Amino acid sequence: MKTKAYSKAELAMLYFPDCDPHVARVRMSSWIRRCTELQKRIEACRSSKFAKYYTAKEVALILEYLGSPDGT
């Protein structure tokens, strides 16, 4: 998977392709909240908690902690 900036909905849909985009975002947020170290690291590099996109650095962290959505 390419490490680049993704909208939150776009990245969530890669992890939950059979869900509505809103539901996928909620599930993704839940996964991140449950992984407290990941949440702390994302918050440390995030400019705004209301951002609509994950930066490439945040995506790299998500992939590190949650793995690739395609299982590779």
For 25-55, the pLDDT digits (tens) are 999 999 999 999 999 999 998 878 789 999 9
- Which token pair is 22? 């809103």
Q: Tens of pLDDT along 52-65?
A: 999 999 999 999 99
Output the pTM of the full model. Answer: 0.90
- Which token pair is 53? 């996109």
DSSP 3-state of 63: helix
Separation of alpha carbons 24 and 52, rounded Å: 14
Give the pLDDT of residue 16: 97
Separation of alpha carbons 11 and 2, rounded Å: 11
